[in-house]
């Protein structure tokens, strides 16, 4: 095996160039083979459909003109196969057409490349810098990445976000909401920082759905109230539980707009806040105890684990303990919901993980950015991430939650058990 580090600089560069060329040639051949297979499958599917003279109505028809397509391995020349489809739709009278799902008509870049663009913008890259920044990776003739194209995409994404903000929400019921404020300090200048207020809902079928991406002032009560009222005006039902961090404005607004909704604090945020109150040498032990609390099988077991934490850290580090005591009820609200849902309900991870690819809390990159553009880019980032969000475990139980079923320590309580509990409370 040749150690590239031991070769002269010229040979090293030559091998690197060869690797890039091999990667691009391999990608080009794979795309060509996939396009041929797709076209052949389409033709074969309708091979039995013949015209009056016994000729096939669907046949291959050469190849289209070459176009350059930008994918993750670079910009490649591609000639897609053409299909001559003579079939006519009996209802509409229109000619049928073959449309490639792998390479749609007029496509010039892969969806993965498109997803990179909002990330780069939020990191502070101006529209004029996109092409030179990506030329080294995607080739000097990176298709569809000129500054004018990027500017046009920005405008399109702003229009998409505006339509998203106006859509009706009364067609689905939402059991849970995840809410979080994501602070963006890029491209807007020192005095014009942006806080994204993000809301994700969980539908009755267990699917997570992006509901809001708005700007707000430091997660204030008024900002959150405006977002929640707008969602309610567009048909959002009162959720059974809302999951978020400890920002006071969020919860004050929730009590005004959806007073019947339960509150669940995010354990990831809370763990970080507690550990910040302890010296580093004690943090591994404290983190283990916090894990025992949050993973406890019942609310009573969680309380017992809290007392262990109190015995070890309460006397010397009362601030760490107070962060748990003050929010104990909203920290353990998940026990009143199906155990299958607990892993989802204890954290705002759907929002946090979606922004993990871009560190928004970075130093300001000064530039002529706008709030509308930053909002649109953040919306596109989350919209693309939706496809990767996990469906809720135990999604069949969400209907029970929406219909008001009672759960104790994650287990559904029968009507007789619920009546007995009510009698005990009354006594």
Sign of the C-alpha dihedral, residues 351, 355, 356, 359? negative
First to last CA, the chain: 81
99-148 pLDDT per residue, tens: 776 566 655 555 555 655 666 665 555 555 555 555 554 555 555 555 66
Q: Is the per-residue pLDDT at 396 higher than 90?
A: yes
Confidence label for 4 from pLDDT (cuts 50, 70 and 90) = very low
User: pLDDT above 90 covers what percent of the chain?
Assistant: 42
pLDDT for res 122: 58
Distance of CA 202 to the CA centre of its chain: 13
Confidence label for 297 from pLDDT (cuts 50, 70 and 90) = very high
pLDDT for res 365: 46
User: pLDDT above 70 covers what percent of the chain?
Assistant: 69
Which has more pLDDT, 224 or 65?
224
What is the distance between the alpha carbons of residues 56 and 308, in angstroms, rounded to a whole number? 78
What is the phi/psi pair of residue 99, to 5°?
A: -130, 120
pLDDT for res 2: 43
Confidence label for 318 from pLDDT (cuts 50, 70 and 90) = very high
Which has more pLDDT, 369 or 98?
98
User: Average pLDDT, stretch 344-366?
Assistant: 69
Which has more pLDDT, 333 or 126?
333
Lookup: tokens for 89 = 């739709």
Q: Is the per-residue pLDDT at 155 higher than 90?
A: no
Q: Is the per-residue pLDDT at 91 higher than 60?
A: yes
206-235 pLDDT per residue, tens: 999 999 999 876 678 899 999 999 999 999
pLDDT-wise least confident of 2-6, 183-187, 343-347: 2-6
User: Average pLDDT, stretch 172-180?
Assistant: 95
User: Average pLDDT, stretch 28-47?
Assistant: 77
């Amino acid at each position: 095996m040749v150690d590239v580090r031991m070769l002269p600089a010229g040979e090293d560069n030559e091998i690197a160039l060869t690797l890039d060329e091999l990667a691009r040639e391999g990608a080009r051949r794979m795309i060509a083979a996939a396009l041929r297979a797709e076209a052949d499958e389409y033709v074969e599917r309708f091979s039995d459909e013949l015209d009056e003279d016994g000729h096939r109505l669907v046949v291959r028809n050469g190849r289209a003109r070459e176009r350059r397509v930008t994918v993750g391995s670079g910009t490649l020349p591609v000639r897609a196969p053409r299909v001559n489809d003579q079939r006519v739709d009996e209802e509409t009278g229109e000619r049928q057409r073959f449309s490639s799902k792998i390479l749609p008509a007029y496509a010039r870049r892969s969806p993965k490349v498109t997803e990179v663009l909002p990330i780069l913008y939020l990191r502070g890259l101006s529209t004029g810098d996109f092409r030179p920044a990506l030329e080294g990776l995607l080739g000097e003739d990176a298709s569809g990445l000129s500054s004018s194209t990027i500017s046009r995409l920005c405008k399109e994404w702003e229009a998409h976000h505006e339509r998203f903000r106006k859509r009706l929400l009364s067609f689905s019921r939402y059991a849970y909401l995840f809410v979080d404020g994501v602070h963006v300090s890029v491209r807007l200048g020192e005095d014009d920082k942006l806080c994204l207020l993000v809301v994700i809902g969980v539908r009755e079928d267990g699917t997570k759905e992006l509901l809001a991406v708005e700007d707000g002032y430091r997660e204030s009560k008024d900002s959150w109230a405006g977002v929640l009222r707008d969602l309610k005006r567009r048909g959002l039902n009162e959720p059974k539980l809302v999951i978020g961090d400890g920002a006071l404005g969020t919860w004050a607004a929730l009590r005004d707009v959806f007073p019947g909704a339960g509150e669940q604090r995010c354990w990831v945020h809370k763990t970080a806040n507690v550990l910040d109150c302890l010296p580093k040498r004690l943090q591994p032990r404290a983190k283990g105890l916090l894990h025992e609390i949050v993973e406890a099988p019942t609310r009573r077991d969680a309380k017992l684990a809290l007392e262990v934490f109190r015995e070890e850290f309460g006397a010397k580090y009362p601030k760490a303990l107070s962060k748990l005591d003050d929010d104990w009820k909203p920290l353990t609200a998940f026990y009143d919901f199906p155990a299958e849902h607990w892993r989802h309900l204890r954290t705002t991870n759907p929002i946090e993980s979606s922004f993990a690819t871009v560190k928004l809390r970075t130093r300001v990159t000064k530039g002529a950015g706008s709030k509308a553009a930053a909002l649109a880019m953040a919306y596109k980032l989350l919209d693309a991430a939706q496809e990767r969000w996990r469906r809720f475990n135990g999604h069949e139980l969400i209907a029970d939650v929406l219909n008001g079923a009672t759960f104790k320590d994650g287990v559904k309580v029968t009507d007789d058990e619920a009546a007995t509990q009510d009698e005990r409370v009354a006594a």
